[in-house]
Structure 1
Amino acid sequence: MRKGNFKRATICMLLAFIMLVAGCSNNDKTSKNSSENEDGTVTLSLFSADPHSQWDNMESPVSKKIIEETGVTLNAEFDVSGGEQKIPLMAASGEYPDLILPKGNASTLVDAKAFLDLTDLIEEHAPNLKKVYGEYIDRLKWSEEDPSIYILPTTPVDQTYWVPGTGFMLQHEVVKELGYPEIRTVKDFENAIREYKEKHPTIDGQPTLGLSLLADDWRIQISTTNPAFLATGAPDDGEYYIDPETYEATMHYRRPEEKDYFKWLNHMNDEGLIDPESFVQKYDQYLAKISSGRVLGLIDADWDVAEAQRALREAGKQERMHGMYPVTLTEEYKHPNFQDTGYLGGWGIGISVDCEDPVRAIKFIDYLASEEGQILQNWGIEGEHYEVVDGKRVISEEEMEKRNNNANYVKETGIGVLKGFSPVYGDGVTDSTGQTYTIANPDQIKDAYTDVEKEVLQNYEVEMWKDLYPQKEEFPVKKWGAGFNIPVPSGSNLELINQKCFDIVKKRIPEAILAKPEDFDKVWDQFMKDLEKAGVEEAEKEYTELVKSRVELWEGK
């Protein structure tokens, strides 16, 4: 589910200008970085490749408490383009904020020597980081050749997953009206959408939309292309399918079964069941359309549409919210959403070489990883967001109602605002009192369901959406973690080919879906030829070597 790298040609055109500006402004280099405030606190600059719709500017009650405890506040920038442009520009200029969360572009910054090696800082100043990572600390090493620790992974440690996260989504009203039909294959999904749409051509005075897809920049992977491997039984390894026995990598579009998946989408479009604006709409338009309640089906990740689901709930349109189903192309496949990757290193937060006080920076991150810091980020402030009763943290019904229904709860309270900036324990892990660090547990999740949602689940004879899915015990643990998490060397031939291939994907996949059915094979054949011409076979060989190196690096760690 990874974004493409910023086009090399664009970098080349801008590089000369950037370096000229950098040379002229070197004397002002530290002005955007750490600075001491009049009250004795320090402001650290931070860049995140992810947007943050609930950012509170460190002004919420929880964030103020963290400033009080650490003496650190953040001046943060959140990118809407996944860092694809900003990070290469940073590397070209040689100027960096104090803290960087680069997602899949860490190698660009590592190659530019933008990050500090955090090994000694962790050993000397970060006992909580050492405790949280525990046995996985060796997975933080960059590579066999370079054992430095540049990135502190923010993936929850020892997470128990109780929520599917991704799948095929149908409005509750659809399955309810149709008598709760089995939703197991794409044909089941298609039939439900068609039948309901024919009965209800409009919803609230607007045309009913069957399935809306999203192809806005990198999000084409989340909603349009990644589901092709998930629906054909392959786990999420980014743009490659990795053979679990040989570790050989294949660009996943070249799997024959995925051609069948996209042919199904082509059929859906020909039947008038796909939103005609799917490949031209922007992300905000997509969310607004879902929030209106007229989109029956989605194929997406829960985090990508969470804002729209909250909006529906807040508007009292519970029946127009969506359930998550483990749909696959045919029944021979099992949806691998819950396949275990082991603990993932690679994506997280790093401290740049421009940080004037790296000790203070690592101590700030270490506080967030402490028991106190994690309780603040999950539960809030005692007496304000929860009470302690008989030694246990208890959230009142009134407060839980706010958590579940106030779309701006995170921003207003600060609970969870900084959670993605440090390693944390996952759902199910208990603290020193024997209570879970997070509030997420099966009972809490079920209590948070709407009445409509509970009714739907009851009719499918399960208690949680997870129960509909194949469980992790049905799959082997992936020895390489996740393919998208393996750094591709910046400026490498592999990176260049990957970008060429992704550009082809963004052109050919929409073209194949929108083609006349009789033209689909011709478009697909051209798609395959384009990938071969771009060097996909060479890329597959190079990526295979990266996968094998990752397996060796992580063996027994």
Structure 2
Amino acid sequence: MFKRMSWLLLLMLSLVLVFAACSTDEDADTDDQDDTPETEDAGEDTDDADGDEGEASTGYQTEPVVTYSFFNAGGTGRDINTNETELGQLFEEQTGVNFQLEHNVGDVNQRVGVMIASGDYPDVIVPDSAIDALYDAEAFIPLDDLLEEHGPHILEAYGPYLDQMKMDGEIFWIPFGANVNEFKPMANIDQGAFWIQRAVLKENGYPEVTTLDEYFDLITQYADDNPQIDGMNTIPFTGLTYDWRFFAFSNIPNHLAGYPNDGGVMIDMDTHEATVYADSEHAKRYLQKLNELNAEGYLDQEMFVMNYDEYLGKLSSGRVLGFFDYGWQFGDARNALRDAGDPDKEFMALPIVFDEGIEDQYIDPPAFTGNRGAAITVNAENPERIIQFWDNLVREENQKLIMWGYEGEHYNVDEDGYFYRTDEQIALMQDESLRQDIGMTVFEWDWPRINGSFSDGNAVEPRRQPEVALAEYTESDREILDAYDISMFAELFAQPQDRPWYPAWSANIEQGSPIQIFEERAEELQKRHYARIVLADPADFESEWEDFVNAYRQLDVDEYEAFFTEVVQARVRGEW
């Protein structure tokens, strides 16, 4: 404060001298000096003083810095202020906005229920699975006018998707990721797959594995030969069935039949008609296979009762031979296995289908998910400042900082303008604490952002830049890649077919509507009956299956299928 007062006195003395010596320029000098010192020279003296005021170089704000509360109901991370990171500090300087982050712990529905009952909401919410409840409670403000006035970069990036983002004719949240420029496929598998411990493949000479029977034959034989791993009982096959992540179990028959994740329905490629598969022959076939494995002692006995953390703990232990899941759901376990230093205990993704001749569709086609995102609540004051922050965030130069880091430090650029990383930079970017300090882990997801490629042709996400993926492979990775005569793990999988409606599950479904009630009740039935079917004595399998089908068909399946048929066919017509 003393420095600021001294600076003001010096400025006032200078003004007196200027007026005395240059009275003919009075108007010009008065206009120049009318601004406050903080606004006139915010880039220097403001930071040296209180640090709470400043003028953004982007032109977004000239007001004091404001901190908004930000609740993430779905993601994990550190509960910090964004300005505690390098990028957060930069974005605060550009916009004058900081966020106090809080991530959900425990039952999200209970936490959100308390918010709704009290009407006390954080300024920004990433509602995840509670999005319908919060929307129904009118917790969100419409964003259309705010975007028109303060969000030019958001509107440019999300332009083709604006209609998909609307509920009842208005936009209430900004989804995570608009595809811009060229679509960049994954070099590695981060979506659904059957995963297998690498030791199983290595023991069998890296065989080609395509069908479900081939997959389980490998696993069960290895389990017979290795009943224990590092002194612990081997777990031949497990799965994730906990809470809202149950889809990682219920979606499996759909994938085995050669369909991507469109939710609870399969979409006919010719007629674009939607059909449920929960009680289909595909589901029955898979559940019967698990029933047989359970009877023979090859199925994890805790699969239907363990929580998410327990599931990750098992995968990290090195004694699980196989499971199905979406790659993004077990990243912590994958990192733990790699850090443990035994590559044979790491997992490899396989495109398993029921039978030879079925083309797998595990890799997602270009898609936009409009029914998830970040929303501003009715409690937020001056919501335009939040929009300005988000708008600044999606600018290409800031997206490069978030995704790639700093040029020359975290990545290099070759003579053709192509981004790449050296071995040292790859090792640097594998340091999660460093990425957290920079702010990359804070801003790379759960915020408005872009997907695809930058205007210079580089992939937005480094993991989609083939040269980066290739450089990140370990000696063990390359051994397996060479054995299968591929350069990247995704090459084992079929390319995605064109599905302009994808994903069907992203349709906006109103809370309390017949469709929403159907999904809720259908999931309850599946959770209850699927466990009984799998764990039943094989002699009781048919009766348990029939009990489920009878209960499931009490629901209005026809209305549900008709709804998604109309959604898909409308999207094919270009109507969102």
Give the TM-score of the pair, scaled to structure 2.
0.82
Instruction: State the match for 1:180 in structure 2.
Output: 206
| Shift in Å, 1:233 | 1.6
Relative distance call for 1:407 and 1:211 in structure 2 (3 A) is farther
Where do 1:485-524 residues align within 5 Å? Answer: 485-524=506-545
Instruction: State the match for 1:411 in structure 2.
Output: 436
| Shift in Å, 1:538 | 4.3
Instruction: State the match for 1:439 in structure 2.
Output: 462
Instruction: State the match for 2:397 in structure 1.
Output: 372
Paired AA for residue 147 in structure 1 = G
Cα distance in structure 2, aligned partners of 1:83 and 1:321:
31
Relative distance call for 1:325 and 1:75 in structure 2 (3 A) is same
Relative distance call for 1:137 and 1:55 in structure 2 (3 A) is same
Mean alpha-carbon deviation: is it higher for 460-469 or for 95-104? 95-104
Instruction: State the match for 2:26 in structure 1.
Output: none
Q: Give the conservation status (yes or no) of the 8 Å contact 1:172–1:452.
A: no
Cα distance in structure 2, aligned partners of 1:519 and 1:408:
52
Relative distance call for 1:371 and 1:230 in structure 2 (3 A) is same
Describe the superposition over 1:259-281 as per-residue Cα deviations: whole angstroms up to 9, x where unpaired: 11111111222222212221222
- 2:68 paired residue among 40, 44, 59: 44
Paired AA for residue 545 in structure 2 = W
Q: Give the conservation status (yes or no) of the 8 Å contact 2:80–2:102.
A: no
Relative contact order, higher structure (CA 8 A, sep 6+):
1
Instruction: State the match for 1:196 in structure 2.
Output: 222
1:313 aligns with 2:338: yes
Aligned length: 510
Relative distance call for 1:368 and 1:445 in structure 2 (3 A) is same
Which of the pair has more CA radius of gyration? Answer: 2
Cα distance in structure 1, aligned partners of 2:538 and 2:92:
59
Paired AA for residue 453 in structure 1 = D
Instruction: State the match for 1:460 in structure 2.
Output: 484
Instruction: State the match for 2:184 in structure 1.
Output: 160
Instruction: State the match for 2:386 in structure 1.
Output: 361
Instruction: State the match for 1:471 in structure 2.
Output: 495
- 2:144 paired residue among 94, 100, 119: 119
| Shift in Å, 1:108 | 3.2
| Shift in Å, 1:184 | 0.5
Paired AA for residue 67 in structure 2 = T
Q: Give the conservation status (yes or no) of the 8 Å contact 1:47–1:100.
A: yes
Cα distance in structure 2, aligned partners of 1:339 and 1:382:
30
Q: Give the conservation status (yes or no) of the 8 Å contact 2:295–2:538.
A: yes
Q: Determine helix, strand or coil for the equivalent of 2:68.
A: strand
Relative distance call for 1:492 and 1:93 in structure 2 (3 A) is farther
Instruction: State the match for 1:259 in structure 2.
Output: 284
Q: Give the conservation status (yes or no) of the 8 Å contact 1:213–1:278.
A: yes
Q: Give the conservation status (yes or no) of the 8 Å contact 1:267–1:517.
A: yes
Instruction: State the match for 1:61 in structure 2.
Output: 86
Q: Determine helix, strand or coil for the equivalent of 2:162.
A: helix
| Shift in Å, 1:204 | 1.2
Cα distance in structure 2, aligned partners of 1:90 and 1:333:
47
Where do 1:90-489 residues align within 5 Å? Answer: 90-142=115-167, 146-158=168-180, 159-162=183-186, 163-164=188-189, 165-222=191-248, 224-340=249-365, 342-382=367-407, 384-386=409-411, 395-404=421-430, 406-427=431-452, 429-431=453-455, 433-440=456-463, 441-472=465-496, 475-479=497-501, 481-489=502-510
Relative distance call for 1:220 and 1:448 in structure 2 (3 A) is same
Describe the superposition over 1:357-387 as per-residue Cα deviations: whole angstroms up to 9, x where unpaired: 1110001111111112201211223465346
The root-mean-square deviation of aligned C-alpha atoms, in Å, is 2.6
Mean alpha-carbon deviation: is it higher for 83-92 or for 254-263? 83-92
Paired AA for residue 462 in structure 1 = I
Mean alpha-carbon deviation: is it higher for 379-388 or for 284-293? 379-388
Where do 1:62-77 residues align within 5 Å? Answer: 62-77=87-102
Relative distance call for 1:339 and 1:186 in structure 2 (3 A) is same
Q: Give the conservation status (yes or no) of the 8 Å contact 2:504–2:567.
A: no
Q: Give the conservation status (yes or no) of the 8 Å contact 2:80–2:100.
A: no
Q: Give the conservation status (yes or no) of the 8 Å contact 2:500–2:572.
A: no
Q: Determine helix, strand or coil for the equivalent of 1:518.
A: helix
Q: Give the conservation status (yes or no) of the 8 Å contact 1:379–1:386.
A: yes
Q: Give the conservation status (yes or no) of the 8 Å contact 1:167–1:300.
A: yes
Mean alpha-carbon deviation: is it higher for 59-68 or for 505-514? 59-68
Q: Give the conservation status (yes or no) of the 8 Å contact 1:178–1:196.
A: no
Percent identity for Structure 1 against Structure 2: 32
Cα distance in structure 2, aligned partners of 1:82 and 1:540:
30
| Shift in Å, 1:424 | 2.7
Cα distance in structure 2, aligned partners of 1:407 and 1:423:
22
| Shift in Å, 1:482 | 1.4
Cα distance in structure 2, aligned partners of 1:82 and 1:348:
19
Q: Give the conservation status (yes or no) of the 8 Å contact 1:55–1:411.
A: no
Paired AA for residue 533 in structure 2 = A
Mean alpha-carbon deviation: is it higher for 498-507 or for 306-315? 498-507
Q: Determine helix, strand or coil for the equivalent of 1:241.
A: strand
Paired AA for residue 152 in structure 2 = P
Q: Determine helix, strand or coil for the equivalent of 1:157.
A: strand
Cα distance in structure 2, aligned partners of 1:531 and 1:336:
27
| Shift in Å, 1:496 | 2.3
Give the TM-score of the pair, scaled to structure 1.
0.84
Relative distance call for 1:76 and 1:306 in structure 2 (3 A) is same
| Shift in Å, 1:513 | 1.1
Mean alpha-carbon deviation: is it higher for 63-72 or for 461-470? 63-72
Q: Give the conservation status (yes or no) of the 8 Å contact 2:236–2:322.
A: yes
Relative distance call for 1:206 and 1:485 in structure 2 (3 A) is same
Cα distance in structure 1, aligned partners of 2:261 and 2:387:
31
